[in-house]
Structure 1
């Protein structure tokens, strides 16, 4: 098997929102060729237009201000910097800062429907298709057959094990997980890297190099190398455990004939699920049900929506109805039964307690070193206050809350782990 010395050509499989976003940062990173692959020529053309538009937005201050007009995260970033500093920084805009024109950058992009042709000379390949295990396995098998033997095969999965993907290829030692956390790579800062049970240090090292080279307009990249693989990696593990409670809320509200519109009007946040896609959410929860705990099983409400094809923003209907890419917000008066249901079944500290418990599990399982890593993920990855700062003195109270809710819901996964219950996390900075 030939040895990889330098990455010149990069390929991305899947031209959806994440795939096109990864292609954009790969182009800005300065690779000689970036191949973007999808089964649909229409999707590819739309992706190319989007990539070009985004790079144009980064090129002039007027366009950049249009880009961040409704982006509160970037508006906060801009309080501590200027467009000129961003525009002249490789870490922010890549080779745009080195006076490459938009056209010169776009000329390096190859859009292709034929996977075999597209990856024949690739050095580093990132799969970014929907979170469907069978689909990913099929793609990784083909990548192993079609790409040069030295090529590294990465997956942008947010949940699936690199070991499972590696089993389908002729090079499990070159398969890594490379999760771009956030809604869009150029404005996110966190990338998570993990290997499978046969991944070499060399493959992980190349993955780390690629991640660190990806520009971000929000600040310096934070590339987190997990000590061992785990379903959901780190950032998503911290949030996904809340799905257990959310499924229970949705299903029990349905049993009490409380509508989704009532729950939304009462403050239940579901828009993020619609944006991601309810099929992706469903597949993620199914994978966690099978690989982490049965308590992650998708509930009846979301299962019914997926079976009906109501997948959220991309189909025009999910928990919300969507028109021209925007949710239709209905004016609904919240009735007393909904208010009582939400008051009884939600605790303002529950979400924080679930997050801290999951963070403690990650330390307990040896996935990360300690609470310092979690706090960094909170700030850089999720733009939120540090979990362990909030819970440092409250872990006993929060453990009681978890015990009570785990019993009430009949979901043992929500019980506090020993690391949290006894405050042992304090010994793992």
Structure 2
């Protein structure tokens, strides 16, 4: 079966082709709903080999066909399956032609021609996702370049988490050099050792910017050990890394934060960055976390604290947990469903971190939430509709308490915050997915 998919990208053909050659491009194009991981991207589109991880220990090796390669116009890859269960997958076939045709000086026709025996609907969903990702990523990088951003060296903590993986791939495919700060020994030229309790300027040598994402997960039962781990992994490591960055001459320090700073029960009014802070456990931790990111106050380093909402991706967070339940028809609202849920698409969150690097007018706390928060009942109904499943089993408030404890249920599952991204909107920021249904359809492949 031969499948064709094409779209016009308002970017010169040489820039589109170059984007595909850079590290991170393959990761950016992998649909998040598929059980596939990027192991290795081909170093050459002419004759390199890419590797993808599949379930059951299988590996998808995609060697590029040198005889078909045309610089700036065409590359071709084919599939071979390796691994202990490869015999069961021998019947699969895959040949993918990537065509790039110039349309004048400022546009490119991107054409994918796939020959495969996989179901056509799955292939079309994948290609639709890839083309939107490509267009949106290129638009973000061109906007940054138009505002003066040049290639940078950027150090990142938490680079292997949900946000860090997407962000590093996005920045690398945009031509930036990433330095991944890791707590083990470095395993490549893009890694440097980092001790969260004793940050050194050596780890940040030559870096223009630092993005600090590391911190223990807040999911879990809120016992004493969990609460201490949440605070310990955030406050002092952030203070010490910010101090080291300032001493190393880093120009901008962008650190993760959370909308939990407004308190779990923040009322009905929209919350911009000047809204009152809450007084529950998470609100107090986030306040200290942000204060740590602002210390020491001396120096010229610009600082941005990204107050993140509920990140939408089937690879992690609440959506990863909810998707299987809703697919089985077991989903429903939490309690009365009146809680405000301030969500953000993963790629929109990546764009916000990107903007924090180049927009010199952006500083301090920034609400990273989509401009249209929804109540929990609306979130539940939208997810069920996107997955084409009924929404018939509301979850009583007691349910989250059994998993998270009383405090965990109040701070996480039943939290209500109606957050407004006022600073971003005032700066004219464009969201890829301003509305929940569009965000879910894109990341779940249900366009």
How high is the TM-score relative to the length of structure 2? Answer: 0.29
Q: Which has the higher contact order (CA 8 A, sep 6+)?
A: 2
Indicate the structure with greater strand content. Answer: 2
TM-score (structure 1 length as normaliser): 0.30
The structure whose residues are more often helix, as a share, is: 1
